[in-house]
């Protein structure tokens, strides 16, 4: 629920309750200062000092009141507009779909970035709906470009049932880069496992939305999900920079499914997908193979 302070129209100026109270206290402080001078002249210096001290006390009270009001106003602004807690099981994916819809009404998004260390094999149908919506937005140019980094699932069943089809959604979408992290093992843990992020960015009007997701796999293969949305330009820029430098260009730079592999050229999606299946899901692979991919075939 959005909670806002009452507003008052004073001589054509709209003031909140905190602002109006501050001006009243300032006026009272000024009156105390004038009164202390008059009292000192007419009555006594001691009475003037009492009035002056009262004025100083009101001034300090004005400062404290203003700080409390400003802090509360900032808190309400964050609660109402900039931070939204996600506690529903499918909320993360529904927020992604909603962000695409909001972007469409404002001319689209310049870029969407996704880091998903476990989400590729999440059994949720809404997860698939979200990725299909992103695929459609790319094809309709409502999203101009997309970069995704996904960790591969630990077993063949999860790959065949969920991961493979979801990755294939982006085989032919325009302006797309897809990279992956090999299946996790004890020697090669996934970077920031369980912490995912979806970053919507349109730097021209400085508009960002970031969905942070905390995901854990529980008994039966289902996922436990929670998170929050941040709609703030400064935070959005910082998270986008983190993704580009730490995730896209560091952790996954040589594990390319769609896009250009540094030093090797444009990757053939189908051939790389076949290599992934062969290396990770057909025959047992030693830990060294999981850590270092084979030579990438290029067009």
Is CATH 2.30.29 the right assignment for the domain spanning 87-291? Answer: no
List the structure tokens of 62.
């004005």
Please tell me which residue, 71 or 265, carries the higher pLDDT value: 265
**Confidence at residue 222, expressed as pLDDT on a 0 to 100 scale:** 65
Poorest-pLDDT segment among 15-19, 22-26, 49-53: 15-19
pLDDT at 203 over 70: yes
**Confidence at residue 252, expressed as pLDDT on a 0 to 100 scale:** 77
CA distances for 206 relative to 42, 101, 109, 239, angstroms: 61, 18, 11, 14
Looking at residues 48-76, what average pLDDT do you find? 67
pLDDT in tens, 228-249: 999 888 889 999 999 999 888 8
pLDDT at 284 over 60: no
pLDDT at 23 over 50: yes
pLDDT at 20 over 80: no
Poorest-pLDDT segment among 79-88, 181-190, 209-218, 287-296: 287-296
Q: Residues with Cβ < 8 Å from 168, sequence gap 6 or more?
A: 273
Please tell me which residue, 32 or 259, carries the higher pLDDT value: 259
Q: What is the DSSP letter of 218?
A: -
Q: Is the pTM of this model over 0.75?
A: no
**Confidence at residue 92, expressed as pLDDT on a 0 to 100 scale:** 93
- 254 — pLDDT class (breaks 50, 70, 90): confident
For residue 193, count CB atoms less than 10 angstroms from its CB and return exposed for 0-12, middle for 13-18, buried for 19 or more: middle
Give helix 17-42 / helix 45-77 axis angle, nearest 10°: 170
Which stretches does DSSP call E strand in the chain?
A: 7-10, 13-16, 83-86, 111-116, 146-151, 176-181, 195-202, 207-217, 223-230, 256-258, 260-261, 265-266
Give the Cα separation of 111 and 240 in Å (integer). 10
Looking at residues 135-155, what average pLDDT do you find? 95
């Amino acid at each position: 629920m959005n909670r806002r302070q009452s507003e008052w129209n004073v001589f054509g100026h709209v003031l909140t309750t905190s602002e109006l109270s501050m001006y009243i206290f300032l006026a009272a402080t000024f009156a105390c200062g004038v009164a202390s001078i008059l009292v000192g002249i007419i009555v006594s210096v001691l009475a003037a000092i009492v009035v002056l001290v009262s004025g100083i006390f009101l001034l300090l009270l004005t400062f404290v009141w203003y700080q409390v009001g400003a802090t509360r106003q900032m808190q309400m602004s964050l609660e109402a507009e900039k931070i939204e807690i996600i506690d529903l099981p499918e909320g993360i994916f529904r927020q992604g779909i909603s962000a695409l819809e909001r972007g469409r009404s404002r001319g689209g998004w310049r870029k969407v970035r996704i880091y998903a260390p476990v989400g590729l094999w999440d059994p949720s149908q809404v997860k698939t709906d979200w990725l299909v919506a992103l695929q459609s937005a790319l094809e309709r140019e409502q999203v101009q470009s997309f970069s995704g980094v996904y960790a591969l699932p630990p077993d063949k069943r999860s790959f065949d049932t969920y991961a493979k089809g979801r990755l294939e959604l982006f085989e032919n979408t325009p302006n797309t880069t897809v990279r992956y992290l090999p299946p996790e093992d004890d020697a090669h843990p996934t970077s920031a496992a369980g912490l995912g992020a979806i970053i919507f960015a349109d730097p021209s009007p400085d508009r960002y939305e970031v969905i942070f997701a905390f995901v854990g796999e529980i008994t039966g293969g289902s996922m436990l999900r929670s998170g929050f949305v941040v709609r703030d330009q400064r935070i959005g820029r910082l998270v986008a920079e983190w993704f580009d430098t730490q995730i896209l260009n560091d952790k996954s730079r040589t594990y390319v499914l769609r896009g250009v592999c540094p030093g090797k050229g444009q990757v053939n999606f189908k051939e790389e997908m076949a290599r992934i299946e062969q290396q990770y899901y057909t025959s047992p692979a030693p830990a060294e193979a999981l850590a270092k991919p084979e030579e990438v075939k290029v067009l």
